[in-house]
Structure 1
Amino acid sequence: MNARRLIPAAALAGAVALGATTLTACSGASDPDGGKDGKVAVTASFYPLQFLAEQIGRDHVSVSTLTKPGVEPHDLEITPKQTGRLGESDVIVYLKGLQPAVDKAVAQSGVKNVVDAAALTELEAHGSAGHDHAHEGSGEHAEAHDHGDEGGKDPHVWLDPVKYAEIAKGVGAALEKADPGHAADYRKNTDELTGKLAALDTEFKDGLKNSASKTFITTHSAFGYLAERYGLDQEGISGVDPESEPSPARMKELQELAKKENVSTVFFETLASDKTAKALAGDTGLKTDVLDPLEGITDTSQGADYFEVMRSNLKNLQKAFGNK
């Protein structure tokens, strides 16, 4: 990952009309004929927004996604042809600032019904922009989140079930406005989804409340919202780019921290190399495991959808913290 993933907290102007949506994991708005079967054609920028559209829109929408499964979403590039096909969408759902190529394509698309997920919840700063692993103050571990440009905002809001539910409500309201004939269905589906997210939130609270340790180490600092929600401390190895080499000073710092905080596990993710995680684990005698930032679902994901992968994340955290 690179610094392009840093995201301003720009709220998209006002509420946006969102056409009904269902998403399929194809690349490049690959279902331009979606609206011809009586369904609203929706394009989502990447998996977390795809999942919301699928769950809320169901049979009333036809959804495609710009980010092919297995592709690191922050590095997505879009061809002129894909930009042209994007313009055939009835509705676009994206997260402004997360994928610069998508931002540019959306601006060029001419589509009127555009929803920015960043406008549907409050983005927060987790760490200072351009200030990787800044642990200021004595004895306290500033969360190693370095996503953010001038706004210093972290885009990974979907990893907090509470914030994800806020986005879901905004998407549902926009679908109702775009397709009022099915408003009751969208409202029902939104209520059902947010209820499941509330239950997931409770599972995380109950599952992590008695942890002996609260610190976890990841290759990619994507879990700031999750850590904040459940009283955990995230420490990133390489910051925004899990492929980059951490400095010797950073590795030494993490070795000392792991010993002090009784850290047992170094986490890596499915869409990035586990090289740095294994290097740190090898130097410290720690285990490695997966903590999935849910930026995409592949055959190697520990679950088939958002809820399954989040529950796998919970189990892996519990195992690392010594919970049963």
Structure 2
Amino acid sequence: MNSIARIRRIGRNSRTVAIAKAVAAGFAALSMSAAAFAAGDVKVNIVAAENFYGDIARQIGGEHVDVTSILSNPDQDPHLFEASPKTARALQHAAIVVYNGAAYDPWMEKLLAASKGGQRTTIVAAELVGKKSGDNPHLWYAPQTMPAVARKIEAALVTADPTHKADYDRHLSAVIDALKPIDQKVAQLRERYRGTPVTATEPVFGYLSDAIGLDMRNMRFQLAAMNDTEPSASDIATFERDLRERKVRVLIYNSQATEALTKRMLQLAKHSGVPTVSVTETQPAGKTFQQWMLAQLGALEAALDAKQP
């Protein structure tokens, strides 16, 4: 289950603190000179906490970068992740670090805070779009996030490796162009389905739902799930009634966190003939970020188009 509260508990994990101390020593040895980049002997090392940020970094950096994405398993609940020595080693030689922020990945904050030195640029998506702890942390679903992150990554690469600026500029332009179909699909869905009532087990898809203009119901239930608290009996009853009476056109759920209550709602939706749409918090293997987002928007469109029983 998505849980800011659980994330905070993980962030306080004693193993993370111990690993952070080890990282401090590793960063002291970091030295990535412009001369080495110019000679083509060294690639820019980038570490992304989440693989969708890593994918954007790879698209921009191309052959000039080595990218390590820490969270990359779409079958695992990312909120249950705990930092390990492998995580620490990946960070030791990072020239650029990208992570989500907004209390989504505080283990990264702790690891980086353990090192006061090291020539690295840290990019925090939440800071770029004005979000903080307590806000919906699923920022990569907000249309404005990835263009902002992409531009920041490109600027960091140009600073670290100015010799290949022309390549980074060209790749950034291609990334921004490849993001435009997402905005176009959102606009199309907004024109057709603005105000359509839908529901979700968690607010993973919330920012795209808002951009489309869907009437998202059962927010108290979703926030309870996100904050690792039990929804009230009345909130559960309202959710079930929406499904049973088909007051919503679609049920959106996080397939990486299907606990008992989520399964209960999925079964009720199936029984009631309400289409369901799976969304994930981790980019699937074999897809770019742009392909992933478009596939999920396509699944939503198909569900909204489905004839009601």
TM-score band, normalised by the shorter chain? 0.7 to 0.9
Q: 2:155: which partner in 1?
A: 173
Aligned to 1:120: 128
Q: Which amino acid aligns with 1:292?
A: V
Higher helix fraction (1 or 2): 2
**Aligned counterpart, 1:58:** 62
Q: Structure 1 pair 230/68, CA: closer, same or farther in 2 (3 Å)?
A: closer
Q: Deviation at 1:288?
A: 4.8
Aligned partners of 2:186, 2:248: CA distance in 1, in Å? 19
Query: Cα deviation per residue 1:218-273 (whole Å; 9 max; x = unaligned)?
Result: 22212222122221233454436478764432121123445787313322223121
Deviates further, 287-296 or 214-223: 287-296
Q: For residues 279 and 268 of structure 2, what CA distance do their matches in structure 1 show?
A: 23
Please show how residues 55-204 of structure 1 align to structure 2 within 5 Å: 55-69=59-73, 70-80=75-85, 82-96=87-101, 97-109=103-115, 110-113=117-120, 114-123=122-131, 149=133, 152-204=134-186
CA contact (8 A) 2:147 2:176 kept: yes
Q: In 1, Cα distance between the equivalents of 2:268 and 2:171?
A: 49
**2:233 aligned to which of 239, 248, 270:** 248
Distance in 1 between residues matched to 2:163 and 2:77, nearest whole Å: 37
Q: Which runs of 5+ in 1 are unaligned?
A: 8-31, 124-147
In the alignment, structure 1 residue 39 sits paired with structure 2 residue 24: no
Question: What are the Cα deviations for residues 171-221 of structure 1, in whole angstroms up to 9, with x where unaligned?
Answer: 112211221111111111111111111222012211342127522222221
SS at match of 2:192: coil
1: distance between equivalents of 2:41 and 2:77? 31
The residue type paired with residue 121 of structure 1 is V
Deviation string 1:251-307 (CA, Å, 9 cap, x unpaired) is 211234457873133222231216434422444614353332443425xxxx72322
Separation in structure 2 between the aligned mates of residue 116 and residue 264 of structure 1, nearest angstrom: 35
User: How far, CA to CA, are the matches of 2:118 and 2:199 in structure 1?
Assistant: 41
1:321 matched to 2:304: yes
Q: Is it true that 1:295 corresponds to 2:279 in the alignment?
A: no
C-alpha spacing 1:238/1:315, structure 2 compared with 1 (3 Å): same
* 2:196–2:249 Cα contact (<8 Å) kept: no
SS of the counterpart of 2:209? helix
RMSD: 3.2
Q: Which residue of 2 aligns with 1:24?
A: none
The alpha-carbon distance between structure 1 residues 264 and 207, as it changes in their structure 2 partners (threshold 3 A), is closer
Q: How many residues align?
A: 269
Alpha-carbon contact 2:254-2:280 (below 8 Å) kept: yes
Secondary structure of residue in 2 paired with 1:210? helix
Question: Per-residue deviation at 1:58?
Answer: 1.0
Give, in whole Å, the separation in 2 of the partners of 1:294 and 1:79.
Answer: 20
Q: Which residue of 1 aligns with 2:290?
A: 307
Instruction: Show the counterpart of 1:138.
Output: none
1:186 and 1:71 mapped to 2: Cα distance? 32
CA 1:275–1:268: 2 relative to 1, 3 Å: farther
Cα deviations by residue, 1:151-180 (Å, 9 ceiling, x for unpaired): x32222211233321221121122112211
Residue 61 of structure 1 aligns with an amino acid whose one-letter code is V
- Relative to the length of structure 2, the TM-score reads 0.75
Q: Which has the higher Rg, Structure 1 or Structure 2?
A: 2
Q: Distance in 2 between matches of 1:322 and 1:274?
A: 28
Cα pair distance change 1:166/1:240, threshold 3 Å:
farther
Tell whether the 8 Å contact from 1:56 to 1:172 is kept in structure 2 after alignment.
Answer: yes
Structure 1 CA distance for aligned equivalents of residues 90 and 305 of structure 2: 49
**For 2:84 and 2:60, how far apart are their aligned partners in 1?**
29
Percentage of identical aligned residues: 25
**Cα gap change, 1:194/1:107 in structure 2, threshold over 3 Å: closer, same or farther?**
same
What secondary structure is seen at the aligned counterpart in 1 of 2:46?
Answer: strand
1:57–1:231 CA distance, 2 compared to 1 (3 A): same
